[in-house]
Amino acid sequence: MKLLTYIILIITLLVNSIGLSDLRKNYPLANDNSEITQNMYNALSSISSNDKAILIAYKGAFSTILAKHSKQVKDKKTYFKEGITSLELAVEKDPNNIEIRCLRLGVQENSPKFLKYKSAIPADKQFIIEHYASESSQEIKKFIKGYIKLSKSFNESEKQLF
């Protein structure tokens, strides 16, 4: 697994940018792998508020996962705050992007209750249910469907819609 992480890092450095396919592929792996999380976070470090909303959202999502992997409480707080700020900016920039809504839903579902970052779960869930069928990208649909299968917010009958 470490070899795969290093290969991803080398490719990232060689290409000097990361594609959405790579982000979609690595996002589900990041929760259990701090090296992938760190590599993706580093690859997205140059993303700013002027970039595409989807890149800002992924930067935010990886930042919140980096908070989980951090050992210092100060780092956890910094990365999580940075992450939710980026996610909220991405939603503000592109509120009708189903992938961004899915990323935010995932972060909210997996954030500890005491952080009180769960208020948009019902809205994001409803948005995904209403707009999934009209999404034209099969890659995005596959990413969302993969997340929904693991989601705690969707009951079994709702999961059958996907």
CATH of the domain at 63: 1.25.40
- Residue recorded with tokens 């701090």: 34
The boundaries of the domain holding residue 42 are 2-159
Residue 148, pLDDT above cutoff 50: yes
> Is-contact 111 117, C-beta < 8 A?
yes
Q: What is the pLDDT of residues 79-127, one digit of tens each?
A: 999 999 999 999 999 999 999 999 999 999 999 898 899 999 999 999 9
String of b and e for 133-160 (b: at least 16 CB within 10 Å)?
eeeeeeebbebbeebbeebebbeeeeee
Q: Closest by alpha carbon to 49, among 91, 15, 99?
A: 91
The structural domain count of the chain equals 1
By the 10 Å C-beta count (0-12 exposed, 13-18 middle, 19+ buried), 121 is classed as middle
Out of 6-20, 41-55, 58-72, 113-127, which region has the weakest mean confidence (pLDDT)? 6-20
pTM of structure? 0.85
